[in-house]
Amino acid sequence: MEKKIRVGVAGYGVIGQRLADGVALQGDMELVGVADVMPTLSVRALKEKGMPYRLFAASVEGKAALEGAGIPISGMLEDLVQQVDIMLDATSAGIGAKNKLLYEKYGKHAIFQGGEKNDVANVFFHGYANFEKGLGVDFLKLTSCNTTGLIRAVDCIDRAVGVEKVAITIIRRVADPGDYHRGLTNALQIDKAPSHQALDLMTIMPHVEATGILIHTPVTHGHIITVVLTPKQDISVKDALEIFEKHPRIRVVSIGEGFLGNASLFRYARDLGNPRGDMYEIAVWSDSVVKSGRDLMFAINIPQESVVIPENIDAIRSSMKMQLTRETGTAETNKYLRIGTWKKTV
């Protein structure tokens, strides 16, 4: 039996706790432990669940705070790093860059999240769009939640018929559920164009011309992105839907089924019994796929708390050369996370 890849998670917050759960499901990986700096609600919940994952303190001050809250720890972040093959860094923006010095000290691979600056890593990574570019690379950086879902949809069409350009409008949730730092709002706020998601897409898919606008909205359960896409080969709405249907990480839904918006998808995930109401797939509304000349327009839902988890697992597989192609790497991730299995039951 091949040795499992040993994985650690730095930062046990919105993304970190989901990364830990995702790694724990992988049959060819071992979750060594997680690290955090304070007894946050996520960490307190970890204790109440019986400490299914070993917890390491990310700082001396954090160690005192965690112990003061009666939360058992297994050592310091530096101890965790020494015990793993690769780290998933899900800390706050800027902290990952500091942690990189520790990873370099012990010669460990690491995956960083979308909030870090691009220069923290050797490759800006997406599991479906450029899996092979990450092979054996020490440091990879993931795209943001919106960019991750957007690239899934654009790459899906691009591999089928080619894509010349895209124009996007992102209707962005203002904060995660349970957050208060953005305040209580009753307004929409527009960002200066072009949005970073369009620029990031071009970084990973340089052959596609992209631009976009982002609008903050006073909601918490998911983003919605409208996409106007110019394919290189003229295709029908039916063709586009068939292409989307074949992608394991894309759900095709409709208003007629009751999927009226982002909240409907969040509720559906909870009704499925998914932990925390998470959904790994993006959704494409079939009702939204229309044509204007050769251009296709469609709308997708981005479950911001969980959508990047599969691509993080892909990144481990690529960086550690567990699989050598996008097809085999993403298929293994999908298998252990049970992504796409629902397509066989509908």
Does residue 175 share a domain with residue 122? no
Domains: count for the chain: 2
Does residue 164 share a domain with residue 103? no
pLDDT of residue 173: 76
Does residue 119 share a domain with residue 18? yes
Catalytic residues: 145
Does residue 283 share a domain with residue 265? yes
Which residue, 164, 162, 168, 179, is CA-closest to 144? 168
Does residue 94 share a domain with residue 46? yes
Instruction: Return the CATH number at 258.
Output: 3.30.360.10
pLDDT of residue 221: 79
pLDDT of residue 232: 97
pLDDT of residue 46: 96
Instruction: Return the CATH number at 13.
Output: 3.40.50.720
Does residue 281 share a domain with residue 151? yes
- Has 85 been labeled as part of a binding site? no
Domain that holds residue 181: 145-302
Residues of the chain with confidence (pLDDT) below 70: 1, 175-176, 178-185, 344-346
pLDDT of residue 321: 98
Give the 3-state DSSP-derived string for 225-277, with helices as H, strands as E and coil as C: EEEEEEECCCCCHHHHHHHHHHCCCEEEECHHHCCCCHHHHHHHHHHCCCHHH
pLDDT of residue 184: 59
Instruction: Compute the distance between CA of residue 323 and CA of residue 325 in angstroms, rounded to an integer.
Output: 6
pLDDT of residue 182: 64
* CA dihedral over 87, 92, 96, 102, signed as positive or negative: negative
What residues contact 101, with CB distance under 8 A and at least 6 apart? none
Does residue 151 share a domain with residue 214? yes
Does residue 276 share a domain with residue 155? yes
Does residue 282 share a domain with residue 175? yes
21-48, pLDDT tens digit by residue?
Answer: 999 999 999 999 999 999 999 999 999 9
Instruction: Compute the distance between CA of residue 70 and CA of residue 112 in angstroms, rounded to an integer.
Output: 30
Instruction: Compute the distance between CA of residue 123 and CA of residue 161 in angstroms, rounded to an integer.
Output: 26
Does residue 293 share a domain with residue 320? no
Both tokens of 12, joined, read 């046990």
Does residue 111 share a domain with residue 24? yes
User: Residue 252: enclosing H or E segment and its boundaries?
Assistant: strand 250-253
Specify whether the CB–CB gap between 90 and 17 falls below 8 A. Answer: no
Does residue 267 share a domain with residue 119? no
